[in-house]
Structure 1
Amino acid sequence: MSLPLDTARRVHVRAPGKINLFFEVGPVGDDGYHDVASVYQAVSLFEDVWASHADVTSLSVSGDVDVSGVPLDASNLALRAARLVTGAVGWEGGIRLEIHKGVPVAGGMGGGSADAAAALVAVNDLIGGGLSSGDLHALGSQLGADVPFALLGGTAVGTGRGDELAPALGRGSFAWVLVADGGGLSTPEVYGTLDRLRADADIAPDRATPSVDPAVLRALRSGDAAALGAAIRNDLQLAAVHLRPDLAVLIDEGLAAGALGGIVSGSGPTVAFLASSAGHAREVAERLGAAGRQAHAVSGPVAGARLV
């Protein structure tokens, strides 16, 4: 592929982190993977990615959060995303990616997936790749279940491995308080722990094929925060709390601070607390802050990866 280049051009894309309002995990398959049924919501913590032309493909990372655990080698999802785009269109030039992270690293909020989604959009625009949104979603699905959702944004139901997405009908905005309580958890370790706990206690998943609780979808459609707070659930929370018992203490603190509900997001350790309004979220965040927690009031849903 050869097109006239504006070598000074720098494309900026912003993509959101996510929380899981609901996450049901099916039994482990012969391949070691699980089918899931999830409700994702994109929230107002963002990753910013800039793409520009370079002699060789490279990456730099900064952030408002601790970025020491972010890989800078070929395993980085954003670099992999950039190379998927250039490979798909036959582009042979180098790409410089600059990432500024606002989503906690290894916190169960899909920050790395948001980086990848932003890189897909940014590189496609930078090189005039001409890939459609469907093309980008297909490439994103090669990188992990959360990448297609970071492209889509909003609120969505994910089935299969979590990457078969359907937008969820919703009314209004929901206010959340997020506490990223350090000490990232490994997603494979959390799933493995869940499998062991289920086997040891002879607890089978609710259904062989996971599905979303209708009460969650009704609460979203009506915009009823109290009903949603009563319905949120995450099967991985059992394993996350087993690995990090302090998360149970944190959830109790958030509920005592007035939250309508609390849930470990994804594989954790970020905990999301639902509030009745933006003002209520600020109050809950202040109470948790007074208890020594780093709490952030956010809202959702927000849009997926977009050019800035």
Structure 2
Amino acid sequence: MGGDVVTGNRRVVFARINRRRGDQETLEARPFTEDIRALAESHLTRHVQRAKASRPARRWFAADMAVTNDGDFLQGTLGYSERQEQREFDTDAWSWAKGATHQADAGNEQTVVPFSIDIRPDDRWVAFATAARMQPAMFCSGFERVLNQAVADLGLIATSWEVDLITSRDSVDQWLSGHPDVHFFRRTVKFTNPGRDLDDDRREMQALAARRKTEEFAARYNRTLNARSSEFKSLLEGTETGDLELVLKARGVDTDHVSTFNSTERPDEELITEFANDLQLGMELTLAALRGYLRRRESGGRRTRDLFGD
């Protein structure tokens, strides 16, 4: 870091990689560990995101990927470059307007971030740092793009690799404790990764060839849902593995005020030391954060593995 003093913190967010098939048949493929290693070694983890009227094309790359000595984790970086005009300041004319310009296709500290993955088949947890132009939803979308591109290029079994943000059940329960008067509840169900057995929701999805199932529950006017019932609580299962997204709305004492809980906007996260441009340090810090996150899940009895295997 060249002697620069780095202060502050950086946000690390937790997610999970889930491989899903459109027909949701049992996945008879190589273990996740073998596939993710093959993708990392291929140097094919790249994708070109087409330009839009509001932005130039983006070239995505997942790079620097290496497995830790214990064989349980993989570290790397994810980022994108954009072709943009750079303008120099003309000191002689004391002018930005008269400064020379040139084109550059590059990333920077706001578009490239480090990550770490638990590559054990039944785990697949991900920790990644965020940046001003790499927020959680963008990271997940970008990582999915490069993984699925590499899967196609390598000719691996056709599955959709999805990166799902993780929201602990504790986070949901804590919000409900402070906002018990829930009057609206929307849940989006995804296939498990993938299941040898299916619950009623997912059997229905399979029969309809559906990728997602979304359902809403709304209380009668000026009433609330029975959020304390076992039926309600059973509908919350899945946020810890990325198989369910939730939106909850509750009225406060003042019925004009509505509080909202959106699981995709409240992923599990923590702060690490700022690493600035030192991506190698960033990878080590995200790995340490991921290890700590898993220890907390285990010590709290909340480590969740797939119910039906990989």
Q: Which has the higher helix share?
A: 1
TM-score, normalised via structure 2 length: 0.29
Q: Which has the larger radius of gyration?
A: 2
TM-score, normalised via structure 1 length: 0.30
